[in-house]
Amino acid sequence: MITIGAGRVGGSEQDGISVFKGIPFAKTPFGPLRFAAPVPVDPWDGVLEAVRFGPRPPQPPMMPGLPAWSPDEGLDCLTVNVWTPDPGGSGLPVMVWIYGGAYRSGCADLPVYDGATLAGHGAVVVTFNHRVGMEGYGHVPGAPDNRGLLDSVAALRWVRENIAAFGGDPGNITVFGESAGAGAVACLMAMPLADGLFQRAIAQSVPGMFFTPAHAARVTESIVARAGGTSPCDSPAEVLVAAAEAVATEEIPGNPREWGPVAFAPLAFAPVVDGEVLPDTPWNALATGASRDVELITGFNRDEYRMFHVMGGGRFDDVGRAMRVLAPAGAEHAYREAYPGASDEDLYVTLMSDWMFRMPSALLADAHTGTTFAYELTWSPTPAFRACHGLDVPLTFGALDDELAQMLAGESPDLPKLSDQFRRAWTAFAATGDPGWPRYDAATATTHVFDVEPADLPDPEAASRAIWSKPGFSPIG
């Protein structure tokens, strides 16, 4: 049993690791608190048996065939989970994970996010739920934007105030995340509200999509129309989930004239550069000195878009049109010159990889004025998916038997070796600030390459970086 600020909690044991699941860090974000900033939880009496994950936030199925969210699961979704190798100790580095899911879905109870293996390296590992979709990122008049980010801030405050009781060092916190979770990490580095809540950050495959308030408001108008014209505050969560998914899958795709770049990767939600919660894009904020005292690892997977391409049946849009909408002026000529002999399909996959994740991550490394380390995952365990988006997640957590690892890595005998590389680098960085390779600077762009034979190379994606280095990523809308 452990005593924290709000009361006593009991946990369980998992392979020598103490585990605490479903501890509330904020009040239920529904009823009078719906669409509000998170409010700290009230103290409780007795012992909270923290042995089950908390409910998921409202969301559509993360993948076809998975069960849809239901309000019957419960609405008290703002909870944290802790894995600690030494709850009676002190001074252990702390690693706080933020899940991805395109800002529309995600939850901390996925088996791939089990923190026991990472904790076995001598770290206290924390995961938590935050609001997604309309509840977390939808624009609601009179409510703060970016409520999912505000949930992340509240969770990090909880960690700072309570993690010593689990053996962690509240002065040595690393926040890490992948995809939309990496976008949240980048946002936190740009947010004054998050100042001082973490000392290190790892951003794995940072997405480049951010919205203006006007674009976010327009998305809400479309969602409200599909939800029957009722105010979001008066619409059940499951109705808004269905309406938002319809906008994302039926209205936005293939319609750049109406929706701009997001039509090529149809998202209804993204962080909103509102000037308050999120004052500017991460690239602009970091370039002007935000989070200069935070040590950063950022990187990407070489073939990011391959997962979406394969799962989408290999279909692809007109390359010329995509280049004109998504990329800097003159990009089609530059891409064809940089990748001679590439087919239109291969160019499209490279463009989408660059636009969605590779170049946002690379330019974040360029923008950061503090200590920075860069990486690229090039390990290609299957000919279909190659080094695709999401491959790094089971490697990071050592979840080698997870469905995601089996789908993306197949039966590769090198899976344990690559996972060991990631876990050792990430936990060493969390403990000491040194992942084991040279620091990054924009002049040489020295990048650590994760592969069967790892290497430190100068600017391995120089061709794409030359195309994208100046324009950067502005909010959509």
The residues annotated with a catalytic role in the active site are 179, 304, 389
Of 422, 429, 437, 439, the closest CA to residue 123 belongs to 429
- Interatomic CA distance for residues 333 and 152, integer angstroms: 41
- Interatomic CA distance for residues 458 and 461, integer angstroms: 9
- Interatomic CA distance for residues 28 and 355, integer angstroms: 36
DSSP class of 119: H
Amino acid letter, residue 470: K
User: Residues 29, 31, 32, 34: what is their CA dihedral angle, to the nearest 10 degrees?
Assistant: 40
Q: Is 114 left (phi over 0), alpha (psi -120 to 50) or beta?
A: beta
CB 463, CB 246: distance < 8 Å: no
Q: String of b and e for 64-79 (b: at least 16 CB within 10 Å)?
A: eeeeebeeeeebbbbb
Strands (E), 247-312: 295-301
Of 194, 75, 185, 184, the closest CA to residue 135 belongs to 75
CB 334, CB 319: distance < 8 Å: no
